[in-house]
Structure 1
Amino acid sequence: MNFTPYQKIKSKRTLAVLAAAAVTGVLSALLADTLKVMTEHYEEHFLEQMRHNNYLIFLLPLLGLSLIHILRRFLFRNKANKGIKEVLDTVNKKGNSLPAYKIPSHYFNGFLTVIFGGSTGIEVSTVVSTAAIGALSSRKAGFLRRYKTDLVCAGLAAGVTALFNAPVAGFLFAFEVFTKRKSKLHSASVITAVLTSSLLTHFFFYKQIFHFNITEWHLNALPSMVILGIAAGFNAVYLTKSVLFFKNLFHSLSNDYLKVIGGALFISTLIFIFPDLYGDGYEGIKSLNDLKPLPVMNVMFPLFLMLILKPLITSVTLGAGGDGGVFAPSLFIGAFLGLIVCVTLNHFFKLDLIPANFILIGMGAVLSASIHAPLTSIFLVCAIADNYVLFIPIVIACLVSKAVASFLFPYSVYTYKAEYGNTSLKL
């Protein structure tokens, strides 16, 4: 078969784009995996130190937020970090791009936020950093600029893949949240980055975050999954509105020192009373899964408080200058909500529901409603479970929670834009 010169050029460019996507996938995996390993190590270290001296918590958030403020002011020249909203603008608006400084900025700010107790996670920091890697790749050759969106999506999909060892969730996250582009080259670019990221993570960095023993579920539990989905939708909207409210509140404060000191004091006080609120909260999820015996109704008040306080402390963390988002908080809230729903229904209706199932399904349901991405949430939670036993109930809960959240409040923190005079607060 003879190819025309145009076809040859097109073929070479396709191979070049896929090669750039592969490099983006490798670099994104290295960034995500090293950030994950370092954050987990130092978060565990500081948590262990707090067990010996719990008053240490009144120093850690202040130190973390102060370091972030210093880095932003003197190293990054007070350039704003707008998080996922900035990635969305890059993908959907011509001319916008993610500058290279976003890579170290979000990497170090996300790391410092979580290890010093800021009640969020590294997921959004990773997404923005890896998206910036994709944007940087698109600037390395003149013709690659046309494929900026493809490489940005390749980078962020590779980042999510590495964090959770969830290639399908990484692929779907790029399409559900950022772009609906359906070109073959776009899909191939994202798949290439996801595969390279997954391979690198699997062979060199793989570590299961949670260990759920999921073996079965019962058909008579499906109505309970719907109830959990409805409750998850309400909780997700509460989280979203809390973040928007406190972003607005802290935005209105002109004194940066007041933001840092006031935010740190609020965070420290809540963590002093409820240590499970420290950092990404994954230790709290693990403790729920290992909880024996299960709580009974008259001692469940602390679990209910987690549903109220986690959105508040997350919102203050972000408002006071911490780097992160609602990804990890959604998983945390969902785990506690799932256990609460399970214990409540078992107590009043003697249903014999399986707590581990509800913890896991709750995680997916709240995440689905918070980021308006049910498909991503379904496959992410299946990756966390390391099996697809709960696929059907997870699908039901995630779709119900997303529908409820969209009905109550049609925005996520990624898509909401609030006006402040002539400026806008971008989340």
Structure 2
Amino acid sequence: MPYSYRKTKIPLLWLRRHTSDREFMLLSSVLVGLTAGLAAVVLKTLVHYIHLLLAYGNRLLDQPYWLVVFPTIGIFLTVVIVKLYFKGKIGRGTANILYNISQKSSMVERHKMYSHVITSALTAGFGGSAGLESPIVVTGSAIGSNYGREYHLNYRDRTLLLASGAAAGIAAVFNAPIAGVLFAIEVLLTDISISAFIPLIIAAVVGALCSRIILQEDILFYIGQPEVFAAGHVPFYVLLGILCGMMSVYYTRMTLLVEEQFEAYENIVFARALVGGLLLGLLIMLFPPLFGEGYDSITLLESNKAQQLLQDSWLAFFGTNDWLVLGFVGALALVKVFATTITIASGGNGGNFAPSMFVGACTGFFFSRIVNLLNISNLPTSSFSMVGMAGILSGVMHAPLTAVFLIAEITGGYSLMIPLMLVAATSYAMVKFFEPYSLDTKKLAQKGQLLTPNKDRTILHIMKIRHLIETEFQSIAPDATLGELVQVIASSRRNLFPVVTADGTLAGVLLLENVREIMFKSDKYDVVQVRELMIKPPAIVQYDDSMADVMKKFDASGAWNLPVLHNEMYLGFVSKSSIFTKYRKLLIKTTNVT
């Protein structure tokens, strides 16, 4: 252990022993929030200066081929670093953190405290069309998790610090502490008490202060005050909510479809990176606003300067009339999904948070501008662009409260609170009908690896078969005689005996009650074999079965003990008693108490 780290740890260990659990958690939330906030500052600063290094901001990339070269370089560098230093896998996106919470007791790998900062900075800095928020969530979560593991905190407190780190990261990126807290509650935490809000709030405030004090205004994403909300525009906001819901379903399904195409090249990472980089570069050549996170484009839409989006595009040759701008912005909303998915699926690192906002801004602008061009009404395009961001973010992430308060905070006011709530709720309700799970959680839900607000299901997800296998059952071979079986019974304290072949496979089971009568007939000892007495088990539990599936097998069979197999090999038995005992322990462990 390095000396400097040991010096830092010793005072905290002293505080751990001399403070209450609540006091130590409050102090921990400050430290986790500070560290996650600084990580967010480092990431945003790295991307900003990589952009300056490439001179994109000074318009020195007028040669279109650079728009192909740089994103490909960024993805290639990311793939090389992941391959050489992180064994080819770093676990991208919020879904990976949800998996750690549900399947690994909120234990996040140590390298994620820095690996996502490095790789996402390269991806987005060189033009990858993905957001930095998901890498920051992973980084902050890893910081909170490893802090909790280092000081031997229980599962509940470790999960709370994990969420605190994520909240601090989101708060720092957007200077939006309320949105950070709500994101942690809506996306990461499935069960939370009022007392848990305090560490989340403290961490988010500390993270936001880090970015406000350190970062320059041109690095932070900020939008000016929107126009005043007019009640007469309510019907149009409802229609926008419906459109955002449709776009969110499109976003989710197209992302999963493109990911499936790249999964076929999972084992040839460099070829996948090359193909993905070239495809992304071609898209950026056609639609230059796809370069990078896209916040500059959002700012142009919000400030009614959408025509500037065309100035680097080949469409600029045809001028900048209103209908051409409208078509270009509409195409951006559709194509951004492909650009983001290609960036991530080909090996880059990033998330869908910023792209969702990009698509939302384009959707809101497109809807309001087409209404105005058709002289149906006179809608404020800047307000509709901002509200559209909340609509798509709510639909894609399934986080309506986060979406509402994030837009309210980055605009510096709450004048659009009513339309924000209206559009976010409408979009979310519509998406829920078609897609019960968010983009980040859909695959986990299909695998049965997602925690839910239901306490029983949450605990069943945490429990693993491998921790419950009982091996003290005495086995017997199928060709053994009744006399040999009697000797085994005499030396056993169980009334269940697995019948196992020489190669370790399970042939059947013997119940003491089924052989009680014949076992006292000594004249049968050398005549009757075990294979004649054994029965087929009422159900078989596989080593990789989820606990929910195991409980269904217990209910269907009515058995109290079931054999566990792995690749047809007998491992032992799992019993209802051991499951109930483990359940009670986890119930105490995961319950949020003050």
TM-score (norm 2): 0.66
Specify the SS of the correspondent of 1:77.
coil
> How far, CA to CA, are the matches of 2:279 and 2:185 in structure 1?
37
**How far 1:183 sits from its partner (Å)?**
2.5
Specify the SS of the correspondent of 1:417.
helix
Rate the CA distance shift 1:293–1:70 in 2: closer, same or farther, 3 A. closer
Rate the CA distance shift 1:321–1:81 in 2: closer, same or farther, 3 A. same
Q: For structure 1, which segment, 145-154 or 225-234, has the greater mean C-alpha deviation from structure 2 after superposition?
A: 145-154
Question: Paired residue for 1:261?
Answer: 274
Quick check: 2:303–2:382 contact (8 Å CA) kept in 1? no
Q: 1:34 aligns with which of 23, 39, 42?
A: 42
Q: 2:243 aligns with which of 204, 216, 231?
A: 231
Offset from partner CA, 1:362-411 (integer Å, 9 cap, x none): 11111110100000000000112111110101110000011111112222
Q: 1:334 aligns with which of 345, 360, 366?
A: 360
**How far 1:206 sits from its partner (Å)?**
6.0
Offset from partner CA, 1:206-244 (integer Å, 9 cap, x none): 635133341312111111111111111111111111221
Quick check: 1:228–1:338 contact (8 Å CA) kept in 2? yes
Quick check: 1:91–1:179 contact (8 Å CA) kept in 2? no
Matched, 1:352 2:394: no
Quick check: 2:47–2:125 contact (8 Å CA) kept in 1? yes
Matched, 1:386 2:412: yes
> How far, CA to CA, are the matches of 1:303 and 1:370 in structure 2?
20
Quick check: 1:25–1:194 contact (8 Å CA) kept in 2? yes
Matched, 1:272 2:281: no
Offset from partner CA, 1:289-318 (integer Å, 9 cap, x none): 334587633552211211221111111111
> How far, CA to CA, are the matches of 2:214 and 2:377 in structure 1?
43
**How far 1:344 sits from its partner (Å)?**
1.2
Question: Paired residue for 1:135?
Answer: 145
Written as runs of structure 1 = structure 2, the 5 A alignment for 1:12-411 is 12-46=20-54, 47-48=56-57, 50-93=60-103, 95-143=105-153, 146-205=156-215, 207=217, 208-253=220-265, 254-292=267-305, 296-297=322-323, 299-411=325-437
> How far, CA to CA, are the matches of 1:340 and 1:219 in structure 2?
21
Rate the CA distance shift 1:25–1:268 in 2: closer, same or farther, 3 A. same
> How far, CA to CA, are the matches of 2:128 and 2:96 in structure 1?
22
Q: For structure 1, which segment, 195-204 or 60-69, has the greater mean C-alpha deviation from structure 2 after superposition?
A: 195-204
> How far, CA to CA, are the matches of 1:274 and 1:201 in structure 2?
31
Rate the CA distance shift 1:338–1:293 in 2: closer, same or farther, 3 A. closer
Q: Which has the higher helix share?
A: 1
> Counterpart amino acid of 1:389?
S
> How far, CA to CA, are the matches of 1:107 and 1:298 in structure 2?
38
Q: For structure 1, which segment, 247-256 or 382-391, has the greater mean C-alpha deviation from structure 2 after superposition?
A: 247-256
Unaligned 5+ segments in structure 2 are: 1-15, 308-320, 448-543, 545-594
Quick check: 1:217–1:354 contact (8 Å CA) kept in 2? no
> How far, CA to CA, are the matches of 1:57 and 1:203 in structure 2?
33
> How far, CA to CA, are the matches of 1:298 and 1:246 in structure 2?
28
Quick check: 1:297–1:343 contact (8 Å CA) kept in 2? no
> How far, CA to CA, are the matches of 2:255 and 2:64 in structure 1?
27
Rate the CA distance shift 1:377–1:293 in 2: closer, same or farther, 3 A. closer
> Counterpart amino acid of 1:30?
L
> How far, CA to CA, are the matches of 1:309 and 1:96 in structure 2?
36
> How far, CA to CA, are the matches of 1:361 and 1:278 in structure 2?
23
Alpha carbon RMSD of aligned pairs, Å? 2.3
**How far 1:112 sits from its partner (Å)?**
0.9
Rate the CA distance shift 1:150–1:249 in 2: closer, same or farther, 3 A. same
Unaligned 5+ segments in structure 1 are: 1-7
Specify the SS of the correspondent of 1:180.
coil
> How far, CA to CA, are the matches of 1:44 and 1:379 in structure 2?
31
Rate the CA distance shift 1:134–1:293 in 2: closer, same or farther, 3 A. closer
Rate the CA distance shift 1:414–1:292 in 2: closer, same or farther, 3 A. closer
Question: Paired residue for 2:466?
Answer: none
Offset from partner CA, 1:316-344 (integer Å, 9 cap, x none): 11110111111011111111111111011
Identity %: 29
**How far 1:180 sits from its partner (Å)?**
3.2
Rg larger in 1 or in 2?
2
Quick check: 2:68–2:284 contact (8 Å CA) kept in 1? no
Number of residue-to-residue matches in the alignment: 415
Quick check: 2:106–2:158 contact (8 Å CA) kept in 1? no
Specify the SS of the correspondent of 2:114.
helix
Rate the CA distance shift 1:286–1:44 in 2: closer, same or farther, 3 A. farther
Question: Paired residue for 1:5?
Answer: none
Rate the CA distance shift 1:184–1:292 in 2: closer, same or farther, 3 A. closer
**How far 1:44 sits from its partner (Å)?**
4.7
Quick check: 1:304–1:340 contact (8 Å CA) kept in 2? yes
TM-score (norm 1): 0.91
**How far 1:32 sits from its partner (Å)?**
0.6
Structure with more contact order per residue of length (Cα contacts < 8 Å, sep ≥ 6): 1
